[in-house]
Amino acid sequence: MTAASAKSIVIAGGGAIGLTCALVLARAGYGVVLVDPAARGANASGVAAGMLAPAFESVLDPASKGLFALLRAGRDAWLDLLPQDRGSPTGLSQPCALWVPTSSGISTEAMAESFNAIGAQFEILTSAAVQALSPGLDPKGAACLLTPEDWCLNVTLVTEWLYQEAIRLGVQFITASVTDFSPGTATLSDGRLIHADHLVIAAGLGRGMASIAPELACLSPIKGQILVFEGAGPRQGPAIRSAGGYVVARASGAMVGATMEFGLDDLTPDAVIAERLQGVGASLYPDLAGAKAHHWTGVRAATPDGLPLVGPSRAPGVTLACGARRNGWLLAALVAKTVASQLANDALDTFATQMDARRFDIA
Ligand SMILES: Cc1cc2nc3c(=O)[nH]c(=O)nc-3n(C[C@H](O)[C@H](O)[C@H](O)COP(=O)(O)OP(=O)(O)OC[C@H]3O[C@@H](n4cnc5c(N)ncnc54)[C@H](O)[C@@H]3O)c2cc1C
């Protein structure tokens, strides 16, 4: 990458994407100020399950169909960012995802065909092998599909690690919103004016920011609800994908999610949905029936084609890094790498072109 001159960058938003951009840009030599009104983790990134799932996402999510190569590049971009010590708490866990068929969902054979079609690796495991891999799981006698393509990270630990690394590299953090920008100056909600050659908007939905970057008007909200169990469910092992939802293992208790509620941007937990998610979890891990769970909600930002807006806005001096829908953690490292390449005027790869922030018409 071209060495950065000592340019100053303000990043609006400290979720997965803003924090990752802060770290990558600080490593590239920029002076970075990250501005966010919310506490660390009080955003969509903080409630996410942390799956880095190029294979299952491209098979199960209609918006991600045909994106296996791009999503896999997103997964691999984390290898350049995180410590590679497998014993480290921020290490990626792999291999990590198992399809457990249910009577109403896709069969293991049909899932295998879909994996073959996208060129993803997998193996078929017997019910007994699956139970050995994830004690407590009830696959109801069915053979299941295990893929090494999909990994996981612990979003709480990785958020803290990104923050500490950014501090270590001199990134400055300010609790406020960015309310305006013109090349040279970012205006904050507390009235401060910050010198900035460049503004990177990593503000999720970027509410109220379309006056700064018109492309943000194409974003729409998708509410997500997820249950986080206390000391119940799998503590390690693969993420479980099934027709009703997923179960992600965590040392402190499993996560079961998640809803995709299009057009909703409120954070109100819905008790009926909690009951349904608990049922999904209990059908896979019977110990989750009646177990105590916290109910978390978050709002994802989505573009019309499901890929994020990454790169220069039509507004001078503004770069976008938002709208990663249900794959913000999966894509964060790739988005940050792409933003850094664009700011350094490096040649762009095909993934950068696919995510081009100016690909939609604006009114
Ligand atoms: C229930 C659930 C489960 C999920 N599971 C996964 C998963 O397993 N894997 C995966 O890859 N993705 C998952 N996602 C999606 C993922 O969480 C999002 O795609 C990702 O968090 C987006 O990160 P972000 O940094 O763009 O936005 P956010 O995390 O929403 O952060 C945006 C930040 O911008 C700040 N902000 C807003 N306006 C301004 C402003 N004007 N100035 C400054 N700051 C501002 C906000 O305060 C916020 O902190 C899940 C999402 C949900 C809701």
Average pLDDT, the chain: 94
Distance CA 188, CA 181 (A): 9
Ligand 1 close to Cβ of residue 277 (< 6 A): no
pLDDT in tens, 10-45: 999 999 999 999 999 999 999 999 999 999 999 999
**68-77 and 328-343 helices, crossing angle to 10°:** 80
What is the model's pTM? Answer: 0.96
Structural domain span for residue 351: 1-93+152-217+306-363
- Cα 89 to Cα 23, 154, 201, 359: the distances in Å are 18, 8, 29, 38
Structure tokens at 52: 């880095």
Distance CA 102, CA 89 (A): 33
Ligand 1 close to Cβ of residue 178 (< 6 A): yes
Same domain, 140 and 67: no
For 353, residues 6+ apart whose C-beta sits below 8 A from its C-beta are none
Instruction: Point out the domain boundary residue: 302, 320, 347.
Output: 302
Same domain, 6 and 81: yes
Calculate mean pLDDT across residues 258-281: 97
Tokens 């971009």 belong to which residue?
77
pLDDT in tens, 124-141: 999 999 999 999 999 999
Same domain, 198 and 160: yes
Ligand 1 close to Cβ of residue 239 (< 6 A): no
Ligand 1 close to Cβ of residue 48 (< 6 A): yes
pLDDT at 200 over 60: yes
Q: How confident is the model at residue 91 (pLDDT cuts 50, 70, 90)?
A: low
% of the chain exceeding 70 in pLDDT: 95
Calculate mean pLDDT across residues 134-156: 95
CATH number of the domain encompassing residue 350? 3.50.50.60
Beta bridge partners of 180: 187
Ligand 1 close to Cβ of residue 320 (< 6 A): no
Same domain, 224 and 359: no
Q: Which of 20, 36, 159 is the best mutation target for the ligand 1 pocket, counting ligand atoms within 8 Å of the beta carbon and taking the most?
A: 36
Same domain, 156 and 7: yes
How big is the CA angle at 319 (ends 175 and 76), to the nearest 5 degrees?
90
pLDDT in tens, 167-183: 999 999 999 999 999 99
For 217, residues 6+ apart whose C-beta sits below 8 A from its C-beta are 210, 362, 363
Q: Whose CA is nearest to atom 21 of ligand 1?
A: 45
- DSSP secondary structure string for all residues of 293-318: EEEEEEEEEE-TTSS-EEEE-SSTTE
Beta bridge partners of 144: 125
Ligand 1 close to Cβ of residue 96 (< 6 A): no
How big is the CA angle at 151 (ends 145 and 154), to the nearest 5 degrees?
130
pLDDT at 3 over 50: no
Determine the longest span between alpha carbons in the chain, in angstroms: 63
pLDDT in tens, 284-308: 999 999 999 999 999 999 999 999 9
Instruction: Point out the domain boundary residue: 284, 302, 320.
Output: 302
The answer to whether 196 touches 9, Cβ cutoff 8 Å, is yes
Calculate mean pLDDT across residues 312-321: 97
CATH number of the domain encompassing residue 259? 3.30.9.10
pLDDT at 85 over 80: no
Distance CA 82, CA 92 (A): 8
Ligand 1, residue 226: give the atom nearest the CA: 1
Terminal-to-terminal C-alpha distance of the chain: 35
Same domain, 116 and 159: no
How many structural domains is the chain composed of? 2
Handedness of CA 303, 59, 92, 343 (dihedral sign): negative
Structure tokens at 31: 């002076």
* 346 CB-contact burial (10 Å; exposed 0-12 / middle 13-18 / buried 19+): middle
